Amino acid sequence: MHAALETLTLSPEQLEIIRQILHRHVPQYAVWAFGSRTKGTAKPYSDLDLAVITTREPLPLSVHADLTDAFSESDLPWKVDLADWQLLSEAFRTEIAKHYVVLQKADKTNRLPENPRPPKH
């Protein structure tokens, strides 16, 4: 079930930091928050669980590493755990789909090819 953004236990400043990082590193993917911060059960220092909604190919390792580093180096006071949709079990996907918040929609105008091909000459 898609929940409203207002249900997230984040400050407006924290949400802005998260959105800036996502837009900088993975604008071509939708990103969903799930877990305790979407259900109202988070403690002050509970982590934030994010699912990057990859479609055909898993997130490249270098992009995953850069995204992880960006969150680690940010001013967010808690850990951000990243999950790659393509690497999750069907059972876990079903669990996430029960309650999530869309933090970012996929930017179709900024879509990178998932299987890049060299340019033709």
> Global pTM?
0.85
Q: Which of 47, 66, 69, 81 is catalytic?
A: 47
Judge residue 102's burial from the number of C-beta atoms within 10 Å of its C-beta, 0-12 exposed, 13-18 middle, 19 or more buried: middle
Residue 11 lies in a domain: yes
pLDDT at position 110 is 53
The total domain count for the chain is: 1
Residue 116 lies in a domain: no
CATH number at 103 reads 3.30.460.10
Amino acid at 54: T
Q: If you search the block for the tokens 């299987």, which residue do you land on?
A: 115
pLDDT at position 61 is 96
pLDDT in tens, the chain (121 residues): 777 777 788 999 999 999 999 999 999 999 999 999 999 888 888 999 999 999 889 999 999 999 999 999 999 999 999 999 999 999 999 999 999 999 999 987 754 444 443 444 4
Q: Which of 49, 66, 81, 107 is catalytic?
A: 49
- Nearest Cα to Cα of residue 84 among 35, 44, 31: 31
Residue 45 lies in a domain: yes
Q: At what angle do helices 12-25 and 61-73 cross, to 10 degrees?
A: 150
Q: Indicate if 47 belongs to the active site.
A: yes
Number of CB atoms found within 10 A of residue 119's CB: 5
Residue 119 lies in a domain: no
Q: Indicate if 81 belongs to the active site.
A: no
Residue 118 lies in a domain: no
Number of CB atoms found within 10 A of residue 87's CB: 12
Residue 89: domain span: 5-107
